[in-house]
Structure 1
């Protein structure tokens, strides 16, 4: 399947044939081939995060999709050889440990707890919790200005509760099933702000229906290091990191950020991005 990232990555195929295919020798379950140099590679992404990982019919778009496609091509797989699989947050470790996917690019923060079950390459992006507000809102400049305001986040997320517990005890919390619903309530004036990672908010703000109506405050107050999830026994960390560094160096990473946040004014934290890659264990 072609993604819009293909145009950014045309040069990758020339080098791809000299690199190792990203897969191990175990059974891939309902994923793609896991014989090195096989016909397909299965990559887990979010299907419901505009600007990061989004499925629309047979089309997959977003920053995570662009990075995954670049890495896959460097590992010897064309965009047509990628099989995309939905990777909800609660299922990511299971998908990797059961070899249903070869890699996961899904706003997957690197943590010591997760490293007990899976391995990581990267990070390929450093996000921070931030706020999305109405375009004409100049009162909300950070979490400490939310007292007495209405704040939306997704059911089950801890991000809004963290603000209430640590920075704005008098904020009123409203939960919605998804971030798209939160943005709808923001545009309608039912809440004053939405909170989650800054790049997720930028992706939402970049959607045509939201452009010119909302903006990212641009004052992140946490650090989330997005890594490439791989099975615990995978030996492909070094190959993935090599591909990521090339993406940082040749301008494709910057191009992918801009393409997926266009029109929002969003700029990643320059002190953290592109990030320094961790050493592979």
Structure 2
């Protein structure tokens, strides 16, 4: 499917299409610029602050707002967006199979991934850190080698541990960060390691406040990009949408809403085309 930026002409077409299908099916797959179809976007369902599915079925978080903004710039109304869960190990597969049109899911850009998918952006810069129990201290980076860590299968965080900064650490890999968090709470692991943006979201949850703390280590630079199918024709349009989001102040608004309560202050929005 080719996504197209909305224009006055497409907006008129959308209105006519919606009127014509108000009493009908309207479940076409993959519309052009929102012309009566849907856009399917992969997000995380279990990352507080970034992408979280509430018990009532609503989706909230920074990535959700970014995805909704981009879709709007491409001509899609919120009710034309279908959110699909995008677990870390499956993101490239979801794009290559055509299960989703794009992925906005704390998706760090890497050379290895760029061999299989395209990335628009980046739209966010995070740093890998550790989440530990509140009474647990990590004196320095070297001490990580003596710890049992948990991360998510297929994530850059898991790869970074043994390749870059803690080759002797014991590493447990689960499918979701929520599983890691359970292990951290019951003492089965010493730390959950992933991006500080994700960790801040968990630490700020009402049920976790006071239990966990970030170690405050900047172990890597993680540039979040919007994942697109390889050789996508929509790369420029998505980059334009990200630029508009930053320039009109929406990016700052999303940051304050979702990260402000955690006391987490992220880096300024990175330049389009920046890479690790």
- Shorter-chain-normalised TM-score: which range? 0.7 to 0.9
Q: How does 1:87-102 map to 2 (within 5 A)?
A: 87-102=86-101
Instruction: Quickly say closer, same or farther: Cα 1:243–1:169, change in 2 above 3 A.
Output: closer
How much has 1:51 moved relative to structure 2? 2.2
TM-score, normalised relative to structure 1: 0.76
Cα contact 1:215–1:264 (8 A) shared by 2: no
How far, CA to CA, are the matches of 1:122 and 1:83 in structure 2? 21
Instruction: Quickly say closer, same or farther: Cα 1:215–1:255, change in 2 above 3 A.
Output: farther
Determine the structure 2 residue equivalent to 1:264. 262
Equivalent of 2:35, from 28, 31, 38? Answer: 38
1:218-252 deviations in Å (ceiling 9; x for gaps)? 32111222111122343222221122112222332
Instruction: Quickly say closer, same or farther: Cα 1:169–1:261, change in 2 above 3 A.
Output: same
How far, CA to CA, are the matches of 1:161 and 1:120 in structure 2? 20
How far, CA to CA, are the matches of 2:111 and 2:160 in structure 1? 20
Cα contact 2:39–2:80 (8 A) shared by 1: yes
How far, CA to CA, are the matches of 1:74 and 1:68 in structure 2? 10
Instruction: Quickly say closer, same or farther: Cα 1:42–1:91, change in 2 above 3 A.
Output: same
Instruction: Quickly say closer, same or farther: Cα 1:255–1:37, change in 2 above 3 A.
Output: closer
Structure 2 regions of 5+ residues with no counterpart?
12-26
How much has 1:121 moved relative to structure 2? 0.9
Structure (1/2) with the larger helix percentage? 2
Q: Is the counterpart of residue 275 in structure 1 residue 259 in structure 2?
A: no
Q: How does 1:1-281 map to 2 (within 5 A)?
A: 17-18=7-8, 32-39=29-36, 40-56=38-54, 57-137=56-136, 139-154=137-152, 159=157, 162-163=160-161, 166-168=164-166, 171-268=169-266, 270=267, 273-278=268-273
TM-score, normalised relative to structure 2: 0.77
State the Cα RMSD in Å.
Answer: 3.0
Instruction: Quickly say closer, same or farther: Cα 1:163–1:102, change in 2 above 3 A.
Output: closer
Structure 1 regions of 5+ residues with no counterpart?
1-14, 22-29
How far, CA to CA, are the matches of 1:55 and 1:66 in structure 2? 13
